[in-house]
Amino acid sequence: MSSMKHVDNIPSTPGKFKEKSHYNRLRLHFSVAKLTFWSFVFLGLIFICFFKSTSSSSSPVSSDLSRRSLRTSSYDGPAWEKRIKASAKIRSTNGISVLVTGAAGFVGTHVSSALKRRGDGVVGLDNFNDYYDPSLKRARQTLLESAGVYIVEGDINDVALLKKLFDIVQFSHVMHLAAQAGVRYAMENPSSYVHSNIAGLVNLLEFCKNANPQPAIVWASSSSVYGLNTKVPFSESDRTDQPASLYAATKKAGEEIAHTYNHIYGLSLTGLRFFTVYGPWGRPDMAYFFFTRDMLKGKSISIFEGADHGTVARDFTYIDDIVKGCLGALDTAEKSTGSGGKKKGPAQLRVFNLGNTSPVPVSDLVTILERLLKVKAKRAVMKLPRNGDVQFTHANISLAQRELGYKPTTDLQTGLKKFVRWYLSYYGEGKKSAQ
């Protein structure tokens, strides 16, 4: 009966029931104890997370490139600024001041070195991610530093870092080569391509549009934008709306983004569609590189063929020829027309193929490597997988020849000979392990 009385005392409207003082004291005591308990739990989690993050700094980096590349090394200070100013110093008449993103990359290293040799001011920027062996990037960094090029370690998505760099140096040009490369890796980590190739490009353009004066920008697109095109050779006027991979789609998106910033803000933009670049200090994820590694180790190499045993061929372009095209694009780039984010007139917008115009079957590439390495390859012929790779690339370079004076001079035999000489020197005598 007493229990029924207690139920009758509970009102139908929540929150209006006045509890007895003894019950209030018990509830208050319980709440304080509960609050104390969860406070200790929360502090404990912070303690654990802190030590976990501290220990992880000495462990292998996370495999997620989109998170990994956001990390930026500490910067600022007089010594840091002094190194940047020294690296950016122009030493030739009519020289230019260039920020090279992705400077520790394959193309970035060669372009930075060539600019410095001719007396231009060069500052590099690179996040040194581990998409492939970071020690190779560090070796390139050492090479550039010996030539007087300083590479700032940081991410192109770091707005504060970009502001500091432009506050220290009034760059006349930006050579934007930083990107997440590789066709096949997009199936494993698609977010890294969006982070670097789209978000990174937009962040850089956003900063450049607000700079005063705005720099002229040359950036790396890709022959991959031609996607499933069957018309060859590929010309800049051909359709590029059928990408075969996410990587290609992000590069195509980059070209559309460049058009937008040119149209709205007056940025001078030149896109370069590279065709299968190879040579010394190259990328370990490229076929010519890992074919060399595996052949020397006696491992089998996979050679793909298209439908009905069709030939898979690439327009292999030697790095020195690509560098000439990059410098030609920088030298012919007109000034941006905007100021402080406002367009004041039409601005230059261009796109060029940089290839070799001589597609070579991948099987022929292997034959050349066999001759240079004096090793018989263990060939495993298989069908071209549906991973974004295309069967054939072939560049029409007439526009680049006319506008940039671009003229490739290195055939595959000569270029591979130079690559093999570098490879054996760099990885030889058990000094390093090609990963």
Active-site residue list: 247
Quickly list H helices, 283-388: 287-296, 319-332, 362-373
SS (H, E, C) 57-94: CCCCCCCCHHHHCCCCCCCCCHHHHHHHHHHHCCCCCC
DSSP code for 197: I
Judge contact between 244 and 306, C-beta under 8 A.
no
Q: Contact at 8 Å (CB) between 272 and 107?
A: no
Asked if residues 271 and 258 have their Cβ atoms less than 8 Å apart, the reply is yes
DSSP 223: G
CA distance 220 to 255: 10
User: What letter does residue 114 receive in the DSSP assignment?
Assistant: H
CA distance 208 to 202: 10
Q: Give DSSP secondary structure letters for 250-266.
A: HHHHHHHHHHHHHHHH-
CB 170 within 8 A of CB 149: no
Contacts of 390 (CB under 8 A, 6+ apart): 224, 226, 227, 228, 244
Q: Which two tokens stand for residue 25?
A: 């004291």
Q: Which amino acid is at 18?
A: K
- Diameter over CA atoms, the chain: 103
Amino acid at 289: F
Give residue 276's Cα distance to chain centre. Answer: 16
- The CA distance from 207 to 216, in Å, is 12
Three-class secondary structure of residue 209 per DSSP? helix
